[in-house]
Amino acid sequence: MNGLDFPRVGVLPSGQLDAITDVGDIRVGHCTLDEGNVHTGVTVVLPNDDPLMQKPLAASCIFNGFGKSVGLMQMAELGCLETPLALTNTFSVGAIATAQIRAAVSAHPEVGREWSTVNPLVLECNDGYLNDIQSLAVTEKHYIEACASASREFRQGSVGAGRGMSCFHLKGGIGSASRIAECGGQAFTVGALVLSNFGKAEHCLLAGRPVGHLLQERLDRIGAEAAVLAAAPEKGSIIMLLATDAPLDVLQLGRLARRAGNGLARTGSLFGHGSGDVAIAFSSSQHLPQLAESAVPLLHAPDGWMDRLFQAAAEATEQAIFKALFLRNRLAGAMAIDGPPFRKFCRNGVISYGAKNRNSSGSEYGENDAHFDFCGY
């Protein structure tokens, strides 16, 4: 493996799809906007068919709070989800939160009347470098379309909420992975999905190997704009979602969420001053019924299981970040890679400035550009 090949990280086995959808009945859907100067979208993670009626236990960890997400406060207070987890750009949080409320009211007219109000959960990263974020292009209908498209198999890379994201001054986006942990003679799965939009090229670690100098050397060949990027402070973000079928309570899910930070740090992230780094861990096996009339029995996993689950969380998160970096528009569970390039960062990891040409894979790059084909596996 040379310095910039796609890495398979960790030692634990992956699930069938090597994706968050290896856990329970989770499905993932996207709606991608990619026209003119608009490169953005919505990604949703559906934990079950109706998370308001069967509320998955959940907890979060905020590593660096430079972010505008909605719904984290009540989730921390009550320890559960009530809607799908939605990802989008910073300026679209309000539109998607409204869409989640409308969807809940449409499905359950009691919401906000006989029942309490619903807690929308929308997490964001700023894609304004590549997307005209001021256009406010994302609307409520795009959330509905993303939910309608949700399935176990889903595309990764520059798709959905990840369409305009960048990572280590290369392309970023959506990535997902899973790891299986043996605990007490049973096999449990931890799945991760990330919206990756962080990092400076010089800091990049690839499976523990410092490759930032290789990236920066090639970026330096591009010219003045790359030099500006290198000199600027790190101000990206990442959202990390973890799901597990292990019988963890809310306290244990919070501990699991914190281990996403281990996977993030392994890639070279510094949790920079201007970065919104947020993790959520939720359960596919433990729920709180909306209409419970008596005490709900919940399980607490033995402490002896936690280290192996922590390992699975760290490995799956790190792997998911590399998938977001390397993959252009890949379907989970398939090896085919497709999708067009975009403006300054090509979808397949090629940095593109200046006059456009075609490389052997059909992607565009500048005549004198350094280019890294990060999708070839």
The domain limits of the chain are 20-290+298-366
- Say which of 277, 283, 352, 363 is annotated catalytic: 277
**Mean pLDDT for the stretch of residues 96-114:** 98
- pLDDT grade for 233, boundaries at 50, 70 and 90: confident
Check if CATH label 3.60.70.12 holds for domain 20-290+298-366.
yes
Q: What are phi and psi of 267, to 5 degrees?
A: -90, -5
**What is the pLDDT, as a whole number, of residue 361?**
29
CB atoms within 10 A of CB 94: 15
- Say which of 178, 269, 275, 352 is annotated catalytic: 275
Quote the CA–CA distance of 205 and 18 in Å, as a whole number.
21
What are the CA-CA distances from residue 364 to residues 179, 215, 308, 361 (Å)? 35, 19, 43, 9
50 is catalytic: no
Residue 148 in this model has a pLDDT that exceeds 70: yes
Q: What is the pLDDT of residues 353-377, one digit of tens each?
A: 222 222 222 333 232 222 333 332 2
Three-class SS of residue 8?
coil
277 is catalytic: yes
Percent of the chain with pLDDT over 90: 75
Q: Which of 48-62, 224-238, 329-343 has the highest mean pLDDT?
A: 48-62
Q: What is the pLDDT of residues 25-82, one digit of tens each?
A: 999 999 999 999 999 999 999 999 999 999 999 999 999 999 999 999 999 999 999 9
End-to-end CA distance of the chain: 12
**What is the pLDDT, as a whole number, of residue 360?**
28
Close Cβ partners of 2 (under 8 Å, ≥ 6 residues apart): none
Q: What is the pLDDT of residues 279-313, one digit of tens each?
A: 999 999 999 999 999 999 999 999 999 999 999 99
237 is catalytic: yes
Residue 214 in this model has a pLDDT that exceeds 90: no
- Say which of 14, 69, 158, 237 is annotated catalytic: 237
Quote the CA–CA distance of 172 and 374 in Å, as a whole number.
11
